[in-house]
Copies of this chain bind each other. A is one copy, B any other.
Amino acid sequence: MKKLSTLLTGASVVGAGLVLASHGAFAQDAAAEAAEAAAAPGVPFIFNTLLFLIAGFLVMFMAAGFAMLEAGLVRTKNVSMQCLKNVGIYSIAGIMFWLIGYNVMYDGVDGGYFGSFTWTVIPDPASDTGDYAAASDWFFQMVFCATTASIVSGTIAERVKLWPFMIFVVFLTGVFYPITGAWQWGGGWLAEMGFSDFAGSTIVHSVGGWAALAGALVIGPRIGKFGTGGVVHAFPGSSIPLATLGMFILWLGWFGFNGGSQLALGSMEDASSVARIFVNTNMAAGAGVVVVMILTQIFYRKVDVTMALNGALAGLVSITAEPLAPSLLMSAIIGGIGGAIVVIVVPLLDKVKIDDVVGAIPVHLVAGIWGTLAVPLTNSDASFSTQIIGIVAVGIFTFVVSLVLWLILKAIVGVRPTAEEESLGMDAVEVGIEAYPEFGVGGQRM
């Protein structure tokens, strides 16, 4: 990280940033790679690029995972809207990260707060001679940005208008996420301080969670969710199998999310590290599921399948800040506590009347904080105090700017449909196409 400036090859050209921040994969293998590069010029470059591409398409597919998870957990009358939003989010994220996000996050941050507000230029393949293809790095970072935005749509589903939401996504993916990302992965002040967040428990998941929380507070709960006298009405999701599919796609994608964050595959140690990350990532998710199954059986005498799905995701979020250092046992413990967080926090949110449709706040925000706090347990380079500073700083920034933007949107264009529109469902009102038109369910019936 110290040699950031010498590594940068051009101000607005992609591919200079990531090498340096937080992971340090290259530094520790310098000798091995030098030897290898001498023997086979270009081979580590190809392996590193391939890692970014494979991990990148796995994370890209998480967009489908979020779409299915959320389509399965909203009511039928809002399923088309949730599908549309997730398609739109992923599309807009790609465009905004190109227009400004990537360079805000990586171009010349150099210990500071953000990079340059310029668009990304992909170099010609013939002159692309870093440690990996510049475009592969851009792709990998872009899909992370998209993931952050996907988190928001789940929490505030069923009662937010399409276009205000999309405008929020424009700012989240183009500006908010890249700024806090710059602090850490862009080599900014948090990275210099020694904050440790390998694959983004804080930088991705909590950021999405804070933005979602701000939205939930501004927009308020769905009509009828919270009755008088503390009564909470369950609004069961429309399709458990779609939600299950979404969870499995996300679990699959997480191998790319965490494994790709090693940022290198061109040495034996890097390859071995990626493999270890796969195993730890899987163990944390599995432990999250098992803990939820046991706890919900004890508490409710039934096993709650949507909590079990969220248990996997919370386990995954928890291990994301440090998927390399832990042993298998520690991975299971870290992920298992993530699962417990779901069981504990979901009813707590209901108590304070925050309506989180898919449970994204416990999964991404609370488990994200837990995972970040847990880093020093297994990684001696991290300290609790610095972890707390990072969590709080990223949290305050993201929550405040998100809150302000939601309030501005509310004041200027309005974020919430009318009560009648909400009852009809967003599909009838804004999409015009019901999710399952032949089943006589949806707007007409309400």
Q: Which of A's residues lie within 8 Å of B, judged by CB?
A: 32, 35-36, 39-43, 45-47, 49-50, 52-54, 56-58, 60-61, 63-64, 67-68, 71-72, 75-76, 79-81, 83-84, 86-88, 90-95, 98, 119-122, 125-126, 128-129, 133-136, 138-139, 142, 162-163, 166, 236-245, 247-249, 251-252, 255, 259, 265-276, 278-279, 282-283, 285-290, 293, 297, 300, 302-306, 308-309, 312, 324, 327-328, 332, 430-439, 441
Contacts and interface: CB of A to CB of B under 8 A. Distances in A.
Contacts of A75: 438
A329 to B, nearest CB: 8
Contacts of A245: 64, 67-68, 245
B52 A54 contact: no
Contact of A282 (B129, B139, B243, B266): B139
A120 B57 CA distance: 30
A241 B240 contact: no
Given A139-B278, A435-B240, A40 B46 contact: no
B80 A283 contact: no
23 contacts: A40-B40, A49-B271, A49-B275, A53-B259, A61-B248, A71-B241, A79-B240, A80-B240, A83-B305, A88-B308, A91-B287, A119-B328, A121-B327, A126-B269, A133-B272, A133-B275, A135-B279, A163-B297, A236-B433, A239-B436, A300-B432, A303-B432, A306-B433
Contact of A438 (B76, B142, B308): B76
Contacts of A285: 91
Nearest to A166: B293
B86 A274 contact: no
B50 A125 contact: no
A434 to B, nearest CB: 7
Given A46-B266, A300-B432, 20 more contacts: A43-B43, A46-B270, A56-B278, A60-B255, A63-B248, A67-B241, A68-B245, A71-B244, A84-B308, A87-B309, A91-B287, A94-B283, A94-B286, A98-B283, A120-B328, A126-B269, A133-B274, A142-B282, A238-B436, A238-B437
A146 to B, nearest CB: 9
Contact of A289 (B53, B72, B88, B297): B88
Contacts of A304: 431-433
Given A91-B285, A327-B122, A129 B268 contact: yes
Contacts of A332: 95, 98
Contacts of A288: 91
